């Protein structure tokens, strides 16, 4: 076990965990930030996506020891009141079906729009297609990313 100081959603946390513990388990089990979901556990679905210094990363395969002083943002910290343009667009388009994959979808979309505020349809598909949705909400995801892009202008 080792002690790690983490910067998450603008707050400092300390945890005592094994160095290879995935960030996902620290978030969910140690810190109670359960908005980030576990699905495949092998970086293949995107359900566990968080931001590390603004970049989308898969927290199920990111050892806590690799996080260091990097700033972690989870779905709980994306905005203060759930009013990030991506969250607003998601609600307006009513994207979610079961909802399980959606925190990861939103975090991926927010990172995509930060890098590329006006993505083309192809760029949206390319940026989002590694996030799996078993309910097949892909059409609405694309529509919501376009709406969020328009809202951010």
Binding residues for ligand FES, per CB under 6 A?
A: 38-41, 43-48, 58, 60, 96-102, 133-135, 137
Least separation in angstroms between CB 50 and ligand FES = 10
Q: Toward ligand FES, which CB reaches closer, 20 or 80? A: 20
Least separation in angstroms between CB 133 and ligand FES = 3
Q: Toward ligand FES, which CB reaches closer, 13 or 38? A: 38
User: Please, which residues have CB within 8 angstroms of residue 96's CB and are 6 or more apart in sequence?
Assistant: 90, 102, 137
Strands 71-73 and 2-8 come out as: parallel
Least separation in angstroms between CB 43 and ligand FES = 5
Q: Toward ligand FES, which CB reaches closer, 92 or 117? A: 92
Q: Toward ligand FES, which CB reaches closer, 130 or 152? A: 130
Least separation in angstroms between CB 129 and ligand FES = 13
């Amino acid at each position: 076990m080792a002690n790690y100081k983490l910067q998450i959603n603008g707050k400092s946390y300390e945890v005592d965990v094994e160095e290879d513990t995935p960030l996902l388990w620290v978030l969910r089990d140690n810190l109670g930030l359960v908005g980030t979901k576990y699905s495949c556990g092998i970086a293949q679905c995107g359900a566990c996506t968080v931001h590390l210094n603004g970049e989308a990363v898969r927290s199920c395969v990111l050892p806590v020891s690799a996080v260091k002083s990097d700033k972690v943002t989870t779905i709980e910290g994306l905005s203060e009141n759930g009013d990030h343009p991506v969250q607003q667009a998601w609600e307006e388009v009513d994207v979610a079906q079961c909802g399980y994959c959606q925190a990861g979808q939103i975090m991926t979309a927010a990172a995509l729009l930060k890098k590329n505020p006006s993505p083309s349809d192809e760029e949206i598909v390319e940026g989002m297609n590694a996030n799996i949705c078993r309910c097949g909400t892909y059409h609405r995801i694309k529509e919501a990313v376009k709406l969020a892009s328009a809202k951010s202008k």
